[in-house]
Structure 1
């Protein structure tokens, strides 16, 4: 029998991707995935964008690895003339391309703990050695960050500064500047993942860490949360020298991302009503965030603690007396899906506390209410008599 590679064997499967089969049951309510609400997709705009494709038959031909020129120009604008952009099949592919381009086995990567599990999978597959720095409410612990950078020969620092997955934290301006300065001091490249940046419900937008950086930085963008994830259009922005190896790897990987989807995406974000769609989307998600937060405080007081995030898709709740994995199993028995916090730590680390991640964007308010009722029953079933 054909032997699976060691890198695949050591890579932990995605809890969320595996649980999708369960969450597709008709009577299951899911707080697990980072899903946008399909009912809020800009369907009228997408229909017009799709209709435009037939007027450009060449869009169904092979294309450049870098992506559709018009979309790349729209993303670049006129701000950073030394920058370049590579269109990818979702921003997850951008992560994979960076890892395959720059990481050798046992190279050291630093990320916040907890961290996005999709990134942890990529680093496992690259056979990297993952180190962590604790995530605080306003960004990474700076003392720990400098200690890690000084102690280890870190090659890449991966972070989600805007409404981090899973914690929902948003870095302060002072920490953004401090991190940029430390990375430059120790010559460590930044991977800034920003899929939730446009889902801000309060406060003012802050500059990206990449904009503040004077050393190597990759900025990953996505349209999955604000347009539709099924189009699978993402991008990575960096200077041309940094992107050159990624283009080579992408050539060998999939030649280029689907041109019709790129053209549809460009027509969608350029549409005069897309800004109105974004306003509607953020208003709806803000209301759901507030509703879920109120429910948790009313129904589960004493069982968990959390901060209300300023944006994004998740509430990160610390459990006061239960094991997250056991609670997730009990929750499935009550027909509600959650993600235990242990999934967001690297495979060679142990979670420092018990927590669960709860998504508030995929369900409407009556469903959120029912989901919390079911979660309460799950907690009660885990509690000693």
Structure 2
């Protein structure tokens, strides 16, 4: 990262290089230090940046010279059309929720919490310790660091009811994030051209992972309180599916949390059909007025395959997730995970473990709960004031998102474009449906940056919506 002084010198050097002819020699480091009044370290950092950008060439023992600008000729990639053939599916390659944004945009589209909601100091110190440990040069076991396996197992075991066997550390597989975990689960437990039941709407990444692995998606309507168990039972019977993907806690995008009664009914249906419940506990650390209650804690018969990621709650730089599975299913999943990634970086695992085992982690989560509540309530209030034609089926008890219903005649693509033109990014809800959307929705993230601008963002949505009905 460059500080202000480094940025200034880099800008001045870049301007000098742009005006100089190819092959011109840059002044020596000593001369640049004297000219700009900077330290040799700062000057060297700026020079290295110019080398990395291909603007100058360093010749050891001789000097640094301006590189000649190469004129790029256009290439014809048309041959690839025939070589690649038609894509396996037509789903968009870039999702709105993954877009990065400049600082002057009100970002209500993102899928990740703002930096100020992360335990940044814990993460930085954890990486510093991890890089000094054996994890920096060693190869970890394929299933993960034993200490991290034990932590995931202990977390789930702490909420396991009496009379049920809690998971063991050996039931845990550490994966490089939940997205790769979903692909692995679909390949290992379902297989190409076979059906998997999936909530609708649901996490777009799960839809993408299923499509990329060739799994057939069978949508199950899921509302503000979860799926209809009778519909789920019928779908199992009609399709012969052997797996159901769901998010029982603070679902993305609806925010729904299943009641204990619904959880028991769904588990009963899954057991009756000899099937798996793939439980994605993505928002475990984002409870606001309720705690996450994993269904995996209610099952010790191997029916629930449980996935919990630390990427959103700890840091986007720590793509680490824990998967809990029992019996032969666990062996199949581990075999596929090894084939895809061999193992997860020991440094990332060590850093994740360092963060979540610090007493300050629990302190951070308590503070996070209050921050998320304030942001959620601010955005809810702004939407009710400025977008009166919209409707929230429920205010979520946790998670990061609001699922906003708009009038059925809304042109969502036009709305998103008009909002972006006004400096507000929103995510149109179509990406969260595995089949045709059943309504017009926006998924709005209340954990994004600059919550003070939420009222302005809601006002822009309201104005863009009103413009469609004039």
Q: Shorter-chain TM-score category?
A: over 0.9
Question: Which residue in the other structure is 1:4 paired with?
Answer: 84
Superposed displacement of residue 301, structure 1: 1.2
- Please say if residues 135 and 346 of structure 2, whose CA atoms lie closer than 8 Å, have aligned partners that are also in contact: no
Distance 2:404 2:263 in 1: 24
Distance 1:15 1:48 in 2: 33
1:103 aligns with 2:190: yes
- Please say if residues 13 and 121 of structure 1, whose CA atoms lie closer than 8 Å, have aligned partners that are also in contact: no
Q: How many residues align?
A: 378
| Aligned CA-pair RMSD | 2.0
Secondary structure in 1 aligned to 2:196? Answer: strand
Note the 1:82-101 alignment, pairs <5 A: 84-101=171-188
Question: Which residue in the other structure is 1:13 paired with?
Answer: 92
Question: Which residue in the other structure is 1:173 paired with?
Answer: 260
Q: 1:248 to 1:11 in 2, by over 3 A?
A: farther
Shifted more, 131-140 versus 283-292: the winner is 131-140
Note the 1:1-385 alignment, pairs <5 A: 1-2=79-80, 3-4=83-84, 8-10=87-89, 12-13=91-92, 15-16=94-95, 20=99, 23-77=100-154, 79-81=166-168, 84-206=171-293, 208-213=294-299, 214-320=301-407, 321-346=409-434, 349-383=435-469, 385=470
Superposed displacement of residue 210, structure 1: 2.0
Superposed displacement of residue 149, structure 1: 1.2
Distance 1:165 1:101 in 2: 24
Tell me the TM-score normalised to structure 2 length: 0.76
Which protein shows a greater Rg? 2
- Please say if residues 184 and 215 of structure 1, whose CA atoms lie closer than 8 Å, have aligned partners that are also in contact: no
Distance 1:120 1:146 in 2: 21
Distance 1:129 1:372 in 2: 37
Q: 1:152 to 1:233 in 2, by over 3 A?
A: same
Tell me the TM-score normalised to structure 1 length: 0.92
Distance 2:93 2:202 in 1: 13
Superposed displacement of residue 188, structure 1: 1.6
Q: 1:53 to 1:181 in 2, by over 3 A?
A: same
Superposed displacement of residue 5, structure 1: 6.8
